[in-house]
């Protein structure tokens, strides 16, 4: 303020403006991208399909009988458990062209389920059921890995999905 109560003239320099504008535009742009992908394109995190008492996984359906179950033509559901240091089942067989829904959880510590080339990448947390659906079109073997470090033999924790050529 000057003595006469007027503000001194403010100068916004071009280089200040060059910093101010992106700092407003970038968060707005990111928020817009988030809104479009979440609500427009329907892209979400793999769902948390339910809860299970982590100490009672072995007695709780469907994890009391881990395995592959056909639920319809070309539709399969896999009940999968992870524990140190193995998946059950550790080999899954489906025909090519199948849509497979994995229902998976952990019996002990945090594990992961990663099937590269099949867009499966979820964390398996004790007490939570992860649900992820994918489609296997090309015949072949798809390795599935635990990709959350879970102890001394973590590197041995893997299995495979065998996609058999349709006859």
Please pick, from the candidates 129, 144, 157, 163, the single residue that binds Cu ion as defined by CB under 5 A: 157
For residue 159, the minimal CB distance to Cu ion (Å) is 11
Specify the residue, 140 or 151, whose C-beta has the smaller distance to Cu ion.
Answer: 151
Exposure of 21 by Cβ count < 10 A (0-12 exposed, 13-18 middle, 19+ buried)? Answer: exposed
> Mask 88-117, x = binds Cu ion (CB under 5 A)?
-----------------------x------
For residue 30, the minimal CB distance to Cu ion (Å) is 33
The answer to whether 147 and 135 have CB atoms below 8 angstroms apart is no
Q: H/E element holding 128?
A: strand 128-136
For residue 102, the minimal CB distance to Cu ion (Å) is 15
Query: Taking CB under 5 A as the criterion, which residues in 131-150 touch Cu ion?
Result: 146, 150
Distances (CA, A) of 34 to 14, 20, 41, 46: 30, 22, 10, 16
């Amino acid at each position: 303020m000057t003595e006469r109560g007027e503000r001194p003239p403010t100068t916004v320099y071009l280089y200040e403006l060059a910093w101010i504008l992106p700092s407003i535009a970038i968060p707005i742009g990111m928020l817009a991208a988030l809104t479009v992908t979440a609500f427009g394109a329907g892209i979400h995190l793999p769902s948390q399909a339910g809860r299970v008492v982590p100490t009672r996984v072995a007695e709780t359906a469907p994890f009391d009988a881990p395995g592959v179950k056909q639920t319809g033509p070309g539709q399969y559901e896999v009940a999968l458990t992870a524990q140190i240091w193995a998946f059950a089942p550790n080999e899954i067989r489906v025909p090519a062209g199948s849509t497979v829904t994995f229902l998976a959880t952990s019996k002990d510590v945090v594990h992961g389920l990663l099937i590269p080339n099949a867009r499966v990448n979820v964390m398996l947390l004790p007490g939570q059921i992860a649900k992820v659906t994918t489609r296997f079109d090309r015949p072949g073997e798809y390795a599935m890995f635990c990709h959350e470090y879970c102890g001394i033999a973590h590197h041995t924790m893997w299995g495979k999905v065998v996609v058999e050529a349709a006859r």
